[in-house]
Amino acid sequence: MKLSYNYFMDNMSEVLKTLRSVDGWIIDDTKDKILITNIEKQYPKIDILEEARAWQVWMLDYNSKKAINHRSRFRNWCKKATEFKENNGKSASGYKQTGRSHRNAESEGHGDGVEITESW
């Protein structure tokens, strides 16, 4: 489905409005528009507006002790969202949340190994 130019521009305006509401975002029209255009091209499987809203909420609770580059952080968020979607909701790193491993349980004096579960 090919989207119209007007839809793209309206969507970009809404995405930028959302991103710029994040505390610390330094507004630069040229950089911001290039960022959104590149993300739309690189990660076509995600809804960039939905990801901007999710990132905005996540940033409300994120307190960094160091300076961060918001544009890079959002681009990485979109990259991870694409990987997550492509891997059916699993991390692209292959890490599975399994709880404690049996070796860890044994080494802490908790008796024989425990069964490892695939998920909680």
> What's the rounded Cα separation, in Å, for the pair 82 and 30?
25
Share of the chain above pLDDT 90, in %: 54
pLDDT digits (tens, 9 = 90+) for 1-22: 455 555 556 789 999 999 999 9
pLDDT digits (tens, 9 = 90+) for 67-82: 889 999 999 999 999 9
Kindly list the domain boundaries of the chain, sorted by start residue. Answer: 12-62+69-78
